[in-house]
Amino acid sequence: MLKPLNTVTRELISLDGLWFFALDTSGLAEPWAGPLQTALEAPVPASYNDIFADQAIHDHVGWVWYQRTVRVPRGWKGQRVVIRVDAATHEGAVYVNENPVARHIGGYTPFEADITQLVAPGEEFRLTIGVNNELTNVTIPPGAVYVDSLGRRKQSYRHDFYNYAGLARSVHLYSTPTQHIDDVTVRAGVDEGTGVVDYEVLSHGPALVHVQLQDASGHVVAQSDGGSGVLRVPDAELWRPGAGYLYTLIVQLRAADTIVDEYNVKVGIRSVKVEGDKFLINGEPFYFRGFGKHEDSAIRGRGFDPALLVHDFALMKWAGANSFRTSHYPYAEEFLDYADRHGVVVIDETAAVGLNLAIGGGVHGNALEKSFSPTMFNSETQAAHAQAIRELIARDKNHPSVVMWSIANEPESVEEGARDYFAPLAALTRELDPTRPITYANEHRGTFSSDVVADLVDVLSLNRYYGWYADTGDLRAAEVHLETELRGWQEKFGKPIIITEYGADTLAGLHSILDQPWSEEFQRGLLDVYHRVFDRVDAVIGEQVWNFADFQTKAEITRVDGNRKGVFTRDRRPKDAAHVLRARWTAATARAEGNE
Q: Using CB under 6 A as the criterion, which residues of the chain lie in contact with ligand GCB when the complex forms?
A: 159-160, 328, 361-362, 409-410, 443, 463, 501, 546, 563, 565
C-beta of 418: minimal distance to ligand GCB in Å? 16
Whichever of 174 and 465 has its CB closer to ligand GCB, that residue is: 465
C-beta of 198: minimal distance to ligand GCB in Å? 35
C-beta of 109: minimal distance to ligand GCB in Å? 20
Catalytic status, residue 123: no
Give the CB-nearest residue to ligand GCB. Answer: 362
Let me know: does 61 contact 153? Beta carbons within 8 Å. Answer: yes
C-beta of 445: minimal distance to ligand GCB in Å? 11
Q: Find all residues with CB under 8 Å of 117, minimum gap 6, and list them.
A: none
C-beta of 387: minimal distance to ligand GCB in Å? 22
Axis crossing angle, helix 416-432 with helix 379-396, rounded to the nearest 10: 30
C-beta of 247: minimal distance to ligand GCB in Å? 36
Whichever of 79 and 406 has its CB closer to ligand GCB, that residue is: 406
Can you tell me the distance from the alpha carbon of 318 to that of 85, in angstroms, rounded to the nearest whole number? 33
Question: How many C-beta atoms surround the C-beta of residue 562 within 10 A?
Answer: 22
Can you tell me the distance from the alpha carbon of 94 to that of 81, in angstroms, rounded to the nearest whole number? 14
Can you tell me the distance from the alpha carbon of 193 to that of 16, in angstroms, rounded to the nearest whole number? 44
Can you tell me the distance from the alpha carbon of 547 to that of 409, in angstroms, rounded to the nearest whole number? 14
- Which pairing describes strands 497-501 and 459-463: parallel, antiparallel, or unpaired? parallel
Whichever of 130 and 362 has its CB closer to ligand GCB, that residue is: 362
Alpha helical stretches, state H, 502-542: 520-536
C-beta of 21: minimal distance to ligand GCB in Å? 29
Whichever of 114 and 561 has its CB closer to ligand GCB, that residue is: 561
Whichever of 238 and 545 has its CB closer to ligand GCB, that residue is: 545
Whichever of 21 and 546 has its CB closer to ligand GCB, that residue is: 546
C-beta of 161: minimal distance to ligand GCB in Å? 6
Catalytic residue among 410, 443, 485, 543: 410
Can you tell me the distance from the alpha carbon of 551 to that of 569, in angstroms, rounded to the nearest whole number? 8
Is the Cα dihedral 329, 330, 334, 340 positive or negative?
positive
Axis crossing angle, helix 520-536 with helix 576-592, rounded to the nearest 10: 30
Let me know: does 277 contact 541? Beta carbons within 8 Å. Answer: yes
**Beta pairing partners, 233:** 195
**Beta pairing partners, 442:** 462
Catalytic status, residue 98: no
Whichever of 147 and 363 has its CB closer to ligand GCB, that residue is: 363
C-beta of 37: minimal distance to ligand GCB in Å? 39
Let me know: does 158 contact 354? Beta carbons within 8 Å. Answer: yes
Catalytic residue among 333, 443, 501, 520: 501
Q: Work out the end-to-end distance of the chain between its first and last CA atoms, rounded to an integer number of angstroms.
A: 44
Can you tell me the distance from the alpha carbon of 271 to that of 511, in angstroms, rounded to the nearest whole number? 45
Whichever of 47 and 264 has its CB closer to ligand GCB, that residue is: 47
Which DSSP string do the residues of 437-479 spell out, in sequence order? -EEEEEPTTS-TTT-SSGGGSSEEEEE--BTTTBSTT-HHHHH
Whichever of 1 and 470 has its CB closer to ligand GCB, that residue is: 470
Can you tell me the distance from the alpha carbon of 69 to that of 282, in angstroms, rounded to the nearest whole number? 49
Whichever of 20 and 291 has its CB closer to ligand GCB, that residue is: 291
C-beta of 60: minimal distance to ligand GCB in Å? 23
For residue 32, the 8-state DSSP code is: G
Q: Find all residues with CB under 8 Å of 263, minimum gap 6, and list them.
A: 2, 5, 7, 10, 181, 184, 251
Residue of 118, 144, 147 whose CA lies nearest to 133? 144
Q: If DSSP states are collapsed to H, E and C, what string results for 98-166?
A: CEEEEEEECCCCCEEEECHHHCCCCCEEEEEEEEECCCCCCCCCCEEEEECCCCCEEEEECCCECCCCE
- Could you give the residue numbers annotated as active site? 410, 501
